[in-house]
Every structure is written in C-alpha cells, then in structure tokens.
Amino acid sequence: MLPNHSPLLIAEQFGMLEALAPGRIDLGLGRAPGTDGATATALRRGADANDAFPQQILELLGFLGDDFPSGHPYRQVHAVPGPWQAKENRVTVPPSTPQVWVLGSSPYSAQLAGQLGRPYAFALQFGDADVDTAMRVYRESFQPSDVLAEPHTLVSVPVAISNDPIEAKRQSATSAMAMLRMFKGEGYLLLPPDEVEAYQATLQERHILDAYTDRSFHGTAETVGARIEALQERTGADEVMLVVGGHSTSLDQEGISLIADHYAMPRLETSLAAAAQ
C-alpha cells in the first residue's frame, strides 16, 4: 500500500531482500489505504497521498534503478543497498531489481499498470470488482517497457477447498465473517464455523456475509478447478493466485494439497521440504 509509505524506504527494504535473494523478489504496489481512516492518516504524509500514487511509483522506480534524470531533486539521493552502493564499493552492479507489479481491483490501477509497462495483479477477493473490464483496459493501455515487452497479468481469487463441499462453504463463511468484522472496525479474526453460524446478523450484515461467501471459489478440488479454468479462459490471466483464509491452517494446507493433486502438481509439504533443502 504505497501511499502509506515512503518510496525511498520501500526501495531500501526491498533492495535488501533482492540482495539476499537475487531475482526472486516481487514488489506489489497498491493504492488502497489497506486500513481504517484514522490509521491511514497516522501513517501517511498527507491527506492527498492516494492522488500522488503514480508519482510515488515513479519515485520508487527511480530509487530502485538509481536513474533519476539530471536536475531531479532526488538525483543525489541513493537507496542502499542498490546500484549506487555497488559502484561505490567497486563491485558488480546487481543484474536485477525487484519485479515491480501494480496491484488493484479497478480500471484505474489497470490503466496505470499498462501505461507504466508493468505486470498487473487483480484482487478478485475484494468487493464487486469488474475483472473483465480491468483486464481489457490494461491490455489496451499497455506500453512496452524495458522490463516487460508484453502484458502480463495475475488474478488472485479466494478459495476454500475440501472433499466435503459443505465444509468448504463453512470455511468460506469464516473468511466472510472476518471481512464483516473489519468493516465494523473490529479485528480481522477467523472464527470457527460454529461461531459464525451462531452469529445473529442484521439484514445488512447477512447480505455482506452471503456476498463474500458466494464470491469465494469453494467446494471440491474439481469444482474449484473448473471455476479457476473458466476464469482464466475468460480473462486470459497469465497467473492465478489462490488466497486461503479458513479458521484452521491445517484445513487450508489440506485444500492446497487437494488442488495440487487435482492438477498433478507437487503437494505443499513436498514443495516445502524441497525449499528447505
């Protein structure tokens, strides 16, 4: 959520991550506040931070590449670690910088990502977002850049996967309740399904709970897989990210393993073991 942060600080933090894991770091930039109004005000440099989002991205890119043009006020300001420090220390300049993505759930973010020639990630789990329009706007506005020759997209979707479709829907309702709690100014707490089902919701609250539950891709691996494939075919997304958020980590892991089995991919525990080696 870039408006909540200093571009220079983010460039240094992610520059350090890139130094530790070269070529493996993605940096996603979002415009939404990501919190309540009071907290956003406490974090930000001003009330108009959202309006300055495009300029903040350009500043961040300038710090990451250490390539502000001559006469720019930040020409002599350098993010450390980064290209400037490497030159000062007479070592090879790192061949890569963090891969910068623009995140969003609206045509505004899609157009900005396209104009900047950056990959675009669309968050389908938030609100009644129009992914079809956003993808079209992104591709129509795309301008090739030095890091990306063609449009590249990702869609993240909320999932709850189980061999028992009823249990999968209960997991999805848990995430929906957490969103409702956040809207009410309460903590984002993933309650057990029994507590969610016992909650006496108002008519408006029930509408929110039902909407977020129905929006998630829940059911068996076959059911969820079919919805993912339909989404990919419709939007042409290059990548799909599954967002899990049940009340139990073990249930989330089981769901990921089930979808991995469905697509004959390595199971989560196998992938973690390989990464640990």
User: pLDDT tens across 62-72, in order?
Assistant: 999 999 999 99
Which of 112, 253, 261, 123 minimizes the C-alpha distance to 179? 123
Q: Please, what is the Cα angle at 31 between 25 and 35, to 5 degrees? A: 100
The rounded distance, in Å, linking the Cα atoms of 248 and 12 is 35
Q: Which one has a higher pLDDT value, 187 or 79? A: 79
25 and 102 fall within a common domain: yes
pLDDT band at residue 188 using 50, 70 and 90 as cut-offs? confident
7 and 32 fall within a common domain: yes
What is this structure's pTM? 0.89
Q: Within 10 Å of residue 128's Cβ, how many Cβ atoms?
A: 7
Once rounded to an integer, what is the mean pLDDT over residues 68-79? 95
pLDDT tens digits for 150-184?
999 999 999 999 999 999 999 999 999 999 998 89
pLDDT tens digits for 95-154?
888 999 999 999 999 999 999 999 999 998 876 679 999 999 999 999 999 999 999 999
The rounded distance, in Å, linking the Cα atoms of 177 and 276 is 35
Say which CATH number the domain at 13 has: 3.20.20.30
Q: Please, what is the Cα angle at 55 between 103 and 31, to 5 degrees? A: 30
150 and 189 fall within a common domain: no
* Cα Dmax for the chain: 66
The total domain count for the chain is 2
Cis before residue 81, ω within 30 degrees of 0?
Answer: yes
Within-domain flag for 87:
yes
Residues 138, 108 contacting (CB under 8 angstroms)? no
Q: Which amino acid is at 157?
A: V
149 and 13 fall within a common domain: yes
148 and 17 fall within a common domain: yes
**Residue 101, H or E segment:** strand 99-104
The rounded distance, in Å, linking the Cα atoms of 66 and 83 is 6
Within-domain flag for 226:
no
11 and 73 fall within a common domain: yes
103 and 134 fall within a common domain: yes
Q: Which amino acid is at 69?
A: P
Residues 6+ positions from 162 with CB-CB distance below 8 Å: 168, 171, 219, 220, 251, 254, 255, 258
Question: b/e per residue, 111-126, with b = 16+ CB within 10 A?
Answer: bbbbebbbbbbbbbbb
**The last residue of a domain, from among 157, 183, 211:** 157
pLDDT band at residue 44 using 50, 70 and 90 as cut-offs? low
136 and 213 fall within a common domain: no
Pairing of strands 120-123, 153-161: parallel
pLDDT band at residue 271 using 50, 70 and 90 as cut-offs? low
**Torsional class of 71: left (φ above 0), alpha (ψ -120 to 50), beta (otherwise):** left
Tokens of 50: 């959202």
The residue segments making up the domain with residue 191 are 158-220+246-276
